[in-house]
Structure 1
């Protein structure tokens, strides 16, 4: 998978209609009894941005995922894309994704070239409307985790993300005791499920159109 060809393909592809919810639904968790998972909120969703940061490492294309620390919250210990909440000083959700990624994994936002974005995604569990931004770096970065927000950083290959053998399913018990049947990506021996998997599923769908593997 050639880095320049891949990022060039993505830069053009994100300008076209996206698969959106069709792709998201493929990785959506369900209740263990097969019922759809429904969450309702009384307030409008807050905005946020996350970053899919592509870079080349010895001829292979990678991107970082973070593991959230253990805390009393709905996303405790989960794997995620770097990113976070929109703040008033942010110009837009693209800026949010770059700013938060700088804070969480130490990548200078000035060095990231933005390619575009995937479809905006509603994270029902935390009531956020999140924009997955795609960016690239022209070098292999040294990531610096922010310990209050990041317990670990892993850097899976994009080729692993689109490998069908990495797509699996299992039961996961969430903090409120509910048992969920969850499709997930097995990346770097980590279980990538929920909102992150649903957003990455759209990337997988458009990468199926990429002519060179």
Structure 2
């Protein structure tokens, strides 16, 4: 039984994660477990040297005695990722001192989370997204209490709160396929209340899942 099964202890969780991060990251080997079938070819056709810097925030927080993560369903628009389920985050701007600040700022803008209440745990492995030419830095953070979410209706269609144990359970990993330009693409995904969390977001979750498993937290 993990420390997240019953009486969840946030302090113990953050301490354990800090120790695990000091041991090194699982990296690409963990990410690729949830990679869609088109990724390898997409990487060959991309130029990562001109990628735009960005970051996302995995914001852990306690709720109902469990550990949760928030996701957003982006509004339908002109971006490559509109309508998808993702972590809060976005493009690095020149006025951001670093990409950790980018992740905090974007989470504040998209979900209304008070920046001062976000504590940073560390970083995961960068991940390149070919379709949007972003180099994404996943940032790990936490709030000591459930945030007072106030979503930006311009950017966010829906807030999805998921218990970490349920989200990252092996029983919650599925596969689907779809066609794009007459090419059949298959992809694994995590189910989030009926929403498919796949692509880059699923690859990022796959690495934190590997860390939690290594630490005996799942």
Residue aligning to 1:38: 42
CA RMSD of aligned residues (A): 1.7
Residue aligning to 2:154: 148
Say if 2:68 is the partner of 1:26.
no
Structure 1: runs of 5+ lacking an equivalent = none
> Which one of 164, 171, 175 corresponds to residue 169 of structure 1?
175
Residue aligning to 2:17: 10
Looking at structure 2, the residues matched to 4 and 37 of structure 1 have their Cα atoms a distance apart, in angstroms, of: 42
SS in 1 for 2:61: strand
> Which one of 196, 203, 207 corresponds to residue 198 of structure 1?
203
1:66: Cα distance to partner?
Answer: 0.3
Looking at structure 1, the residues matched to 40 and 216 of structure 2 have their Cα atoms a distance apart, in angstroms, of: 35
2:68 touches 2:161 (CA, 8 Å); kept in 1?
yes
SS in 2 for 1:30: coil
> TM-score of the superposition, structure 2-length normalised?
0.90
Looking at structure 1, the residues matched to 67 and 182 of structure 2 have their Cα atoms a distance apart, in angstroms, of: 37
Counterparts in 2 of 1:166 and 1:41: CA distance versus 1, 3 Å: same
1:36: Cα distance to partner?
Answer: 4.1
Written as runs of structure 1 = structure 2, the 5 A alignment for 1:1-213 is: 1=4, 2=8, 3-31=10-38, 36-39=40-43, 40-41=45-46, 44-173=50-179, 178-213=183-218
Counterparts in 2 of 1:134 and 1:210: CA distance versus 1, 3 Å: same
1:5: Cα distance to partner?
Answer: 1.9
SS in 1 for 2:41: coil
SS in 1 for 2:82: coil
User: 1:139-198: CA deviations, max 9, x gaps?
Assistant: 111211111111111010110122111001011345x56431010001222100001001
Bigger helix share: 2
> TM-score of the superposition, structure 1-length normalised?
0.92
1:50 touches 1:83 (CA, 8 Å); kept in 2?
yes
Looking at structure 1, the residues matched to 147 and 182 of structure 2 have their Cα atoms a distance apart, in angstroms, of: 39
Structure 2: runs of 5+ lacking an equivalent = none
1:119: Cα distance to partner?
Answer: 0.9
Q: How many residue pairs end up in the alignment?
A: 209
